[in-house]
A and B are shown apart, each in its own frame.
Chain A
Amino acid sequence: MKDYKGQTLSWQIVNGAIELALHRDPCNEIGSLTLDELEKFAATLPVLANESHALIVYSTRKAGFSAGADLRELFERGQKMEKTAALRGVRDFLERIHAVMNTLDAAPLTTIAAVHGVTFGGGFELALVCDIIIADRMARFCFPELRLGLIPGFGGIPRLKRDLGNAVVRDLLLTGRSFNVMKAQQVGLVSQIAAEGEALRVARATASQVGKFDRRTSSAAKAFVKPIPYDELKREIDIFCDLYSRPAVEEGLRAFVENESAQPYLP
């Protein structure tokens, strides 16, 4: 399946680079449907990788790259099921999305996240699996999970720790604040800053550049500098599930989904 057009995402190969476009309204919230399609992509990746040298992940939604996990779905799961079944469902979801993220993280080609606007929570975690983050100057990065009584659950903390100093990780995580792109570049998260609306173009130019090098050498270099923290990733799932069972989380999720104002992106 070289080309695919799904409900939440699509992919195609353009000039030797796989372009994975996220297009679920309003801002690529990651729920069951997105996970199904991400799994489809991960399963197809070995075939696509035979014909490409890079992967670009980007969003076609104006609001941003992704607002993260679908919190409405997470809340409703807790309402419809009895607690043990809901927790089992959450763990299953996390294990599946971790499998996808680990596949993308270890992909044998150079991966580039081209982000703009809201790059929050699970969306931020998706960007973090990529080798290079190229950000539009209006992008913002945030781990808002502590506002809900949770921690990031899609591998965010171990991957952020892999890439950044622990003090920066604590700042982002424990305050729940968002970083602008200048700060993100200053701390080493963002590789390149693009003008508004230009992140995809810059990512394509970068993909073209990485395509000039011997593929096997690039893969070896990537494997050497980007180890995957499997043990911490598994621990993250356990901590998330421990926290999810508490009443405070249900209240936090309820407050979020019942908020009738515009999406509550401010802390």
Chain B
Amino acid sequence: MSAPTIDHTLDEILNLAAAHFKVPREKLTPDDDFFKTLGIDSLQALDLLTRLEQHFHIELPDYELQGVSDFRTLANRIQSRL
């Protein structure tokens, strides 16, 4: 089975983030700073990481998220583990 495309991965991340943090999906764009757009702190970012790991069935060490704050870069990090 081939890995999903980066656009597909990005779309799934945005859907999951919108649903979990109760933000309208249409308000989220790939280059948003997710800390600001979702209004989350680092603890909630860990929560998001756990949900993404479960959703994609991957393990993404949290040090790979150091300095990452936009959905597009996050999608690239996830894509590299699929």
Contacts and interface: CB of A to CB of B under 8 A. Distances in A.
A177 B63 CA distance: 6
Interface of B: 41-43, 45-47, 49-51, 53-54, 59, 61-63, 65-66
A118 B50 CA distance: 11
Nearest to A267: B63
B62 A267 contact: yes
Interface in A113-130: 117-118
A170 to B, nearest CB: 14
Given A63-B43, A180-B50, 20 more contacts: A117-B47, A137-B54, A138-B50, A140-B50, A176-B63, A177-B62, A180-B49, A181-B50, A182-B54, A183-B59, A261-B41, A261-B42, A262-B43, A263-B41, A265-B42, A265-B45, A266-B46, A266-B62, A266-B66, A267-B62
Interface of A: 63, 117-118, 137-138, 140, 175-178, 180-183, 261-267
B43 A265 contact: yes
Nearest to A181: B50
B26 to A, nearest CB: 26
19 contacts: A63-B43, A117-B47, A175-B63, A177-B62, A180-B49, A180-B53, A180-B54, A180-B59, A261-B41, A262-B41, A262-B42, A263-B41, A263-B42, A266-B45, A266-B46, A266-B65, A266-B66, A267-B63, A267-B66
Nearest to B57: A182
Nearest to B46: A265
